[in-house]
Amino acid sequence: MSTANPPFSSTPSTVRTPALLGATAKALMQKIESKTATIAIVGLGYVGLPLVRAIRDSGYPVIGFDVDQRKIDALNKGARYILHLGDDFFSTLQADKQFTPTSNPLDLAKADLVVLCVPTPLGPHHEPDLTYVLESTKTSAKSLRKGQLVVLESTTYPGTTRDEMKPILDAVGLKCGEDYFLAYSPEREDPGSMGRSAQHIPKLVGGVDDVSTDLAMAFYTRVVKSAHRVSTAEIAESAKLLENIYRAVNIALVNEMKIVLTDMNIDVWEVIAAASTKPFGFQAFYPGPGLGGHCIPIDPYYLTWKAREVGRTTRFIELAGEVNTSMPHYVIERTQLALNDHSKSVKGSKVLVLGIAYKKNIDDPRESPSAEIIELLRDHGADVSYHDPHLAIFPAMRKHRVNLSSVALTPATLAASDCVLILTDHDAVDYSLLGQHARLVVDTRNAMARVPEKHMKCQLVKS
């Protein structure tokens, strides 16, 4: 008979009774249940800060740790450094006496729970780079004490929590599952999406042992609306990868469809809208100029790399990666053809890129395809500028140095541009202005579909 827990259950049955816990675990459980446990968040970025808010809203005192002193200074001043969280978020944290931002790793010793929310990028050959995970684990180990629970939230390959983190923590001399506890609960942030705050997105929770899972479940069920217990940390790690691989593969599918249908003079956007009328068996995904962000372009390769250890290949994942990473070159090809129709070459043309964030309505350019597209345009001799209402300066990236600042979006700017290339469809942009004053618009996001026909005086190319 199945003993599986019901999905997204927050009922007490997901946690074992205190009588089954050892003395150390029982003491920590009591702190969690009474909300007297102090929680430390390691990494105060796009994942860590929303989690800070969820934990503070639930009543726990929070220590926020980051090695970047600029973030600590900003938090102490109430200064916003992540756009979509809003000014009120930062001013509220500044005034909150139960929140302590710090860059001093010794402060982690005060915490009962330490939650790691650090990046997991790729190396130069698409191999996992666990530098941040391992360094933050070592930092946590220096202050690890009896009765602490450590939780990793970073997306990574199956086995990271048990095989990479646990040995570092074990080296302190404490026994996992008795003296300290270790679990994995993947982040599920959706920046810029209304109604999807950290509190309202279901959490997966899996420990390296049952007691660790019990304690982590007790914590998360008091912080988020619902949490789902899984049997091991490896299940939770794998589930997070599946979520992101599912998106990567389906985005590659519609990107490939776009290329084929465009050559057939068929509007892929209308095709997707038509297919979406089916109430079952179909979920809409949308094409774009490439993949961006800290998850979808990166996480699938974590499984690809791990699969090689067991002698397997991940053909779907790798093919999807090839399609998605080729999209910036397709955008350049479409831009070249559009300019050719105006008797212009890319070389010497003034191209205004609209939007450099990896998705709409946020200020995050990580892994954004816009950086590669701008570099490709420059390689072809284009005079490139950009406008993004959320990013005044194009920040330095791991692989790219664009060195541009956002220009004002005015009728004069549009009229002076040979081509406007839409890469991110921010809502704060007046697309009717483009329709009235731009000469040529290459639209990779179907953003111009919102412009009334009477305002469309430009030539529009859907890409």
Question: What span, in angstroms and rounded, lies between the C-alpha atoms of 52 and 102?
Answer: 13
Q: How far apart are CA 93 and CA 89, in angstroms?
A: 6
Are both 287 and 155 inside the same structural domain? no
Mean pLDDT of 310-332: 95
Q: Work out the number of other CB atoms within 10 angstroms of the CB of residue 6.
A: 11
Q: What is the pTM of this model?
A: 0.90
Q: Which of 179, 197, 231 is the last residue of a domain?
A: 231
Strand 181-184 vs strand 149-152: parallel, antiparallel, or unpaired?
parallel
Average pLDDT, the chain: 92
Number of C-alpha atoms within 13 angstroms, CB side, residue 358? 19
Reported confidence tier of residue 194, pLDDT bands at 50, 70, 90: low
Two structure tokens written together for 460: 């529009």
Last residue of a domain, one of 231, 263, 282: 231
**Tell me: the pLDDT tens digits for 211-228?**
999 999 999 999 999 999
Same domain, 223 and 329: no
| 223 and 274 together in one domain | no
Looking at 231, 263, 283, which one is the last position of a domain? 231
37 pLDDT above the threshold of 90? yes
Catalytic residues: 295
Q: Which of 11-20, 112-121, 148-157 shows the lowest per-residue confidence on average (mean pLDDT)?
A: 11-20
Domain of 31, CATH number, reads 3.40.50.720
Per DSSP, 83 falls in state G
**For position 191, what pLDDT does the model report?**
73
Q: Which of 82-86, 91-95, 454-458, 459-463 has the lowest mean pLDDT?
A: 82-86
Q: What is the pLDDT of residue 431?
A: 97
Band (463; pLDDT cuts 50, 70, 90)? confident
